[in-house]
Amino acid sequence: MTSRIRSHTDPHPFAPRRRTVVKAAAAGVALAAPTAAAVPARAAETPAFLHGVASGDPLPDGILLWTRVTPVPEAVPGSGLGPDVEVNWTVALDKAFTTVVAKGTVTATAASDHTVKADVRGLAPATDYWFRFSAAGTDSPAARTRTAPAAGAAVANLRFGVVSCANWEAGHFAAYRHLAARGDLDAWLHLGDYVYEYGTGQYGTRGTVVRPHAPAHEILTLADYRTRHGRYKTDPDLQALHAAAPVVAIWDDHEIANDTWSGGAENHTEGAEGAWAARQAAAKQAYFEWMPVRQALAGTTYRRLRFGKLADLSLLDLRSFRSRQVTVGSGEVDDPERTLTGRAQLDWLKAGLAASDTTWRLVGNSVMIAPFAVGSLSAELLRPLAKLLGLPREGLAISTDQWDGYTDDRRELLGHLRANAIRNTVFLTGDIHMAWANDVPVNAGTYPLSASAATEFVVTSVTSDNLDDLMKVPKGTVSAVAAPVIRAANRHVHWVDTDRHGYGVLDLTAERAQMDYYVLSDRTRADATSSWARSYRTRSGTQKVERAYTPV
């Protein structure tokens, strides 16, 4: 058989403040950049695989493989040190590697921070494979991956882990460990904030840094971003999940800087922290070096994957093209000249949703699309009052960093779904550090008398602060008070949990899409337990969420 290899730096033409939100709603392991002394005793020139292995972006005939090799002890992430080293990769049908189906060689260099990728093609669809890397006689750990079903295949079931928002300093990544232990995932989705840019102690941890960042300062340069990614990739639970199933990832803001927009970020001071263009370019370069993600158009994360006839998955980049966030009351949130997606991406998304022939149209979405408002009024009163006061027509939005701050894009997209009778669109969302199950109404002011265009499942954070953390009150205290108020003002919201950390498992059949929500016992403990919290589903053809009383 044949395989095709691409350099990880080559573009692939593929198909085509959290603190703001939560504050408003509220109104370790070894260093990733270990020193030579920190590296386990070994021959000084023997390569090592200290950051695990990973796979991502499954296709019916291929998979993207990733690793980082440390050729010599001083070649730590971000150092720019170390010689070139030849890295071999092998793909097999079994963990013992007795049935090898593909193999090849790539070169790890300091120019790519000694990360390597192999874009392997020629594989069979819907098949489990094992892979590993080797360099100078040293083997990496072996890992499982899985290809996507054939485009025209009738698929009975798909299961995806769903996560977002993992602040290293706030706790341990037990959510990843529990997902890895399942052993039944076709893939897992990371919906943004895989890493955080802040310096030690600068971002919420309930006042306790569980394990410090590396580097300790806010990351600004290419070396900084590489070091931070390297730190994350030493986490044993994250390594375990990457070794258990392929990841499908998009970035949100913290992979770059808080509240990123096309021309800057809330957490960037031009001049004092260098030029925004240079910082953004450095962050994106490090991301594509360290993540098993294929670059899409113009080096962004928007792209589309297909999983047989059961589902396709449109993945968005809601940071690279967006207009600057505005303040509530400015009158600008409804400005048609402002955009969240950018014109090209919105047209690509609309065209893909309209052309899709799959049962489910999934959208990987980094910020919440369902309105989150207070003071909802009838449409007859709300529209003129909103115009007079300069408020969003859907109500008084809590966060204009979400789709609430870019209502023209949202109206165009939801109107497109309705006008073209596009059914079974499910937005999968992170960012807000809370769990939600939402209908996505065309007109929130008249809902539920008016239509729902889609549904949305929002997963809470892996570790990043939610409301009870910010207010430093016992778990569940805020949700008991806030959830009824939020639901009363937002009748499309079926459930919200403002206080717990965890992950989701999305299970798809032709009849329904179901999200099972799981919560952790304690984000600060590496041995945290996991328990099922709630399940919600949408039945095919309904565009509405309903409660399911057992996980799948």
Domain boundaries, the chain: 1-16+28-147, 148-548
Query: Which CATH architecture does the domain made up of 148-548 adopt?
Result: 4-Layer Sandwich (3.60)
In this predicted structure, the answer to whether residue 274 has a pLDDT above a threshold of 60 is: yes
Q: CA angle, corner 186, sides to 181 and 191, nearest 5?
A: 85
Residues 473-500, mean pLDDT to the nearest whole number: 89
In this predicted structure, the answer to whether residue 386 has a pLDDT above a threshold of 60 is: no
Residues 528-532, mean pLDDT to the nearest whole number: 98
The model's pLDDT over 322-355, given as tens digits with 9 standing for 90+, comes to: 999 998 766 788 899 999 999 999 999 999 999 9
The residues pairing with 87 across neighbouring beta strands, listed in sequence order, are 106
Mean pLDDT score across all residues of the chain: 89
Q: Can you give the pLDDT at residue 383?
A: 53
Q: Can you give the pLDDT at residue 395?
A: 56
CA distance 363 to 425: 7
Could you tell me the pTM of the whole model? 0.90
Residue 344 DSSP one-character state: H
498 contact partners, CB below 8 Å, separation of at least 6: 25, 434, 466, 467, 468, 478, 479, 482, 483, 486
Min mean pLDDT across 117-131, 248-262, 368-382, 434-448 is at: 368-382
Q: Can you give the pLDDT at residue 375?
A: 52
Residues 66, 5: contact at Cβ < 8 Å?
Answer: no
Q: Can you give the pLDDT at residue 392?
A: 56
Quickly state the pLDDT bin for 358 (edges 50, 70, 90): very high
Residues 189, 163: contact at Cβ < 8 Å?
Answer: yes
Min mean pLDDT across 50-59, 208-217, 263-272, 320-329 is at: 320-329
Homologous superfamily of domain range 1-16+28-147? Purple acid phosphatase-like, N-terminal (2.60.40.380)
Q: Can you give the pLDDT at residue 286?
A: 97
Q: Can you give the pLDDT at residue 439?
A: 98
Q: Can you give the pLDDT at residue 394?
A: 58
Residues 495-501, mean pLDDT to the nearest whole number: 95
CA distance 186 to 533: 22
Around Cβ 549, how many Cβ atoms within 10 Å? 6
Q: Which residue from 304, 338, 322 is spatially nearest to 407, judged by alpha carbons? A: 338
Min mean pLDDT across 129-133, 370-374, 489-493 is at: 370-374
481 contact partners, CB below 8 Å, separation of at least 6: none
pLDDT greater at residue 527 or residue 381 = 527
Give the HSE-up count for residue 19: Cα atoms under 13 Å, Cβ half-sphere: 14
Alpha helices, DSSP H, located in 214-342: 222-232, 236-242, 276-290
Residues 551, 516: contact at Cβ < 8 Å?
Answer: yes
In this predicted structure, the answer to whether residue 374 has a pLDDT above a threshold of 90 is: no
Q: Can you give the pLDDT at residue 474?
A: 87
CA distance 477 to 483: 10
Q: What percent of the chain has pLDDT over 90?
A: 78
Say whether 365 sits in a helix, a strand or coil. strand
CA distance 517 to 190: 15
Q: Can you give the pLDDT at residue 396?
A: 53
Residues 374-390, mean pLDDT to the nearest whole number: 48
Tokens coding 288: 């594509």
